[in-house]
Structure 1
Amino acid sequence: MKIGELATRTGLAASRIRFYEASGLINAQRQANGYRHYPEQAVQILGIISCAQQAGFSLDEIRRLLPQADSQGLAHDELVISLRRKIGEIELMQQRLAQNKAQLLTIIATIESKPEGMACAKHAERVLANMLDAQPQQ
C-alpha cells in the first residue's frame, strides 16, 4: 500500500510514517517510480508504536520490542519484562506527581492565607520561607 493509504488507515501523518521508516521502525519497498510500498503488517506495527509511545516507551525501547523481519514475532519474556518495568516507572512518576501536587496546593494555601494588612513583599518572604521549610532535608 502507498503511504497515503497507510496514513488514512493508521490516522498518522505521512511525515510521521516517513520518520518511523527513517528511524528503522518500519520498512517500505521502493517501487520503480520512487513511491514507497508498505506491507500490510505496517498497519499493525504502527499501531504498536503509537500505543507504546502513549504508554511512555521511547523509540529505542520500542525498536527492541518490535518483531524483526527475520523472526516470528515479539519476544514474549522480554516484552513482559519491559511492560512491567514501564509500569514501575509510571508508578514512580505518579508518586512524584502526587508530591508535586501536594506542594503546589500547600503553596497556594499559604499565598491565599495572607494576613489582613500584611504588605505583599512581607507576604512573599513568608511564602518563600514556608516553601524552604517544607523542602526535604538532604
Structure 2
Amino acid sequence: MLDIAEVAQRTRLAPSALRFYEKKGLIAAAGRNGLRRTYDPDVLERLALITCARSAGFSIAEIERFLVARPSDADLRARMAIKARDLDEQIGQLTRLRDSLRHAAVCDHEPIVDCPDFKRAVGSVATSSSPCEER
C-alpha cells in the first residue's frame, strides 16, 4: 500500500489533485492509515493514464467515460476515434513546429522567423511534408 504522500511524490501530482480525482471517481483509495489515504500500487498506472489523457486535452468528464468504456458503447467509441484523429493532427503540427525550431537553431537568416524555410514549415499546418532542410 502507498499513502497519499508517496503517490503524490511518484506521480508528481499534488495531494489535492489525488483527492479531486478520487472525488470524481477516477481513482479510489484502498483505505486509510490514520488520517491519510492509502492506495494500491496499481493506482500509479491509472494516474499515468489520467495524466497522459489530460496532457492530450481530454476533459475530466471524457476521462471518466473512457475509464468505464465497454465495447458495446458505440457512441463513446466513435468519440474516441474522433479524438484520436484530432491528436494525429496535433502531433503533426507539433512535429512540424519541432522540426522548424531545430532548423531555426542553425539558420543564419535574419531575422530567423523571416526565413522562407522556417515560414514554409510552420505555415504548412495541413501538410505532412518534411520541414525545411538545415542549411
With the length of structure 2 as denominator, give the TM-score of the two structures: 0.53
**Displacement of 1:83 after TM fit?**
3.5
Q: Could you list the runs of 5+ residues in structure 1 that have no partner in the other structure?
A: 68-73, 96-138
Taking only aligned residues, the RMSD between alpha carbons, in angstroms, comes to 2.8
Which of 79, 82, 86 matches 1:85?
A: 82
Q: Which structure is higher in RCO with an 8 Å CA cutoff and minimum separation 6?
A: 2
Count of equivalent residues: 88
Q: 1:87-106, CA deviations, whole angstroms, 9 ceiling, x for partnerless residues? A: 344549x99xxxxxxxxxxx
**Displacement of 1:29 after TM fit?**
3.1
Q: Could you list the runs of 5+ residues in structure 2 that have no partner in the other structure?
A: 94-135
Q: Counterpart of 1:27 in structure 2: which amino acid?
A: A
User: Sequence identity, in percent?
Assistant: 39
Farther-moved stretch of structure 1 (80-89 vs 45-54): 80-89
CA contact (8 A) 1:56 1:86 kept: no
Q: Counterpart of 1:48 in structure 2: which amino acid?
A: L
Change in Cα spacing, 1:77 to 1:52, as seen in structure 2 (3 Å) is farther
Q: Determine which structure has more spread, i.e. the larger CA radius of gyration.
A: 1
Runs of 4+ aligned structure 1 residues displaced above 6 Å come to none
